[in-house]
Amino acid sequence: MGIFRKKETHESRSSSMSYVLRWKKENVRQAGLVAIFLIALTIMISILMYTQSKKQVFFVIDGKASAVETRESKLQNLLNEHSISLQPHDTISMPVNGAIKDGDRVIIKRANQVKVTSGNETKKLYTTENTVEGAIRTSGYKLSSNDKVYPALGASVSSNMHIKIVRVKKQQVEQKKQVPYQVIKTSDPSLYKGDNRVLQSGKSGVVVQRVQKIYHDGKLVSKQLINKEVTQKRVDKVIAIGTKKKPVVLAASVSPDTAKATRVSSGNAVRKAGVNFKYSKVLQNFSMTAYSSQEAGIGTRTASGTRVTEGRTIAVDPSIIPIGWWVYIEGVGFRRAEDTGGAIKGHKIDVYYESLSRANQFGRKYGKTVYVIGPVKPEIN
């Protein structure tokens, strides 16, 4: 038997190698194209991501706004990027560790240290409020409608500001006040001189005053009268003073004073107020006022040494009317010149009244006629 051997041919091996080379060449080209495509895609994605990572963020710090651009994704990094530091009491509108996106608005309020005083207590605190009213609210103090605040509630807060609260308290009280009665003396021609009679007893009045007291931090600073009411009327005491001259028994002889008075009264005769008398002269155009010992600085003794008496005493200019002489004043009656006054000069007379209110009611009168009589008062015939 013979041995069968496989026939070898150079043509088969050459064809296989050619195919492999052809396949490798074609795949290398395709691999290069894929690689170029992948590189270009990576670059495009990187450019796109780079472009999209750029953001605009708005900061508002203590009311002042500004815009910044960044590629940071965290707020803390953005703060570090722009050297923005936060103090322990400052407030920020977003978490510092949170993410940020384009268009975000970050509000930062810087805290100010202030002192708030109420009464004897003072608090030191940090506040991010813009006004004094807000700072007081965060301090824990409560305000009433009457309290006063310095500076004003609407004032802007500044660093190290001292805010003072004044507690205002208003209180109404009633006060009873005694009104003393006055003594009114009136002339009574039916009584002899030196005789007095009480016509009406005096009684003090009572007035209730309602007063509003205002306290600042417990200290009284002012009082204000709200109203008053008379709960008991005052009754003045009225005393009748006798003016009637006591009868005198005349001696047979005539004294030198009487003779002198007779000579003085030998002038013209006239009848006034039911009395016939003689006068030495008539003075025209006198002005008249009134005064009272109840006025400050006015005593009860006259310049002539007598005691002031309503219905008798007048103050005159001694160069016009002699001191001690009687006169008759139209519309007033008989009066005696017993007093003087610094303002009583020329044709002026001051009529005395016990009551200051009656003296004030007298006012000022003009054009009065005065009959100058003499040292003896005329009597009813």
Which CATH number characterizes residue 70's domain? Answer: 3.10.20.30
Domain boundary among 109, 134, 151: 109
341 and 357, same structural domain?
yes
**Domain assignment of residue 25, yes or no:** no
Q: Shortest CA distance to 373 belongs to which of 251, 284, 281?
A: 281
> How many whole angstroms separate alpha carbon 305 and alpha carbon 100?
107
Instruction: Give Cβ neighbours of residue 132 (< 8 Å, ≥ 6 apart).
Output: 149, 151, 152, 153, 154, 155, 156, 157, 161, 163
- Examine the domain organization and report whether 199 and 281 are in the same domain: no
Output the domain CATH number for residue 222.
2.20.230.10
- Residue 346 and residue 287 share a domain: yes
CATH number at 325 reads: 2.40.40.10
With respect to residue 186, please indicate whether it lies within any of the assigned structural domains.
yes
Domain boundary among 82, 109, 136: 109
List the domain range (segments joined by +) for residue 215: 172-241
- Dist CA 67 CA 82 (whole Å): 11
Residue-level pLDDT, tens digit, the chain, 381 residues = 455 455 555 455 556 666 666 666 667 777 777 778 888 888 877 666 655 568 899 989 888 898 988 888 888 888 898 888 888 888 898 898 888 888 889 999 888 999 999 988 899 999 988 899 998 988 888 998 889 999 999 999 888 999 999 999 999 898 888 889 888 988 888 777 777 777 788 899 999 989 999 999 889 989 888 898 888 999 988 888 888 776 643 333 333 443 333 344 445 889 888 888 999 999 999 999 999 988 877 888 898 889 999 999 999 999 999 999 999 999 899 999 999 988 899 999 999 999 998 999 998 999 999 999 999 988 865
Torsion 254-255-258-263 (CA) sign: positive
d(CA 146, CA 368): 61
CATH code for the domain in which residue 131 is found: 3.10.20.90
Can you give the pLDDT at residue 163?
Answer: 94
Indicate if 155 and 121 belong to the same structural domain. Answer: yes
Residue with tokens 């803390």, as numbered in its chain: 76
pTM (two decimals)? 0.42
In a domain, 23, yes or no: no
One domain, residues 265 and 342:
yes
Number of domains forming the structure of the chain? 4
Residues 232 and 274 in one domain: no
* CA 61 – CA 81 distance, rounded (Å): 16
Statement to judge: residues 262 and 331 lie in one domain = yes
- Residue 283 and residue 334 share a domain: yes
Element (H, E) at 351: strand 348-352
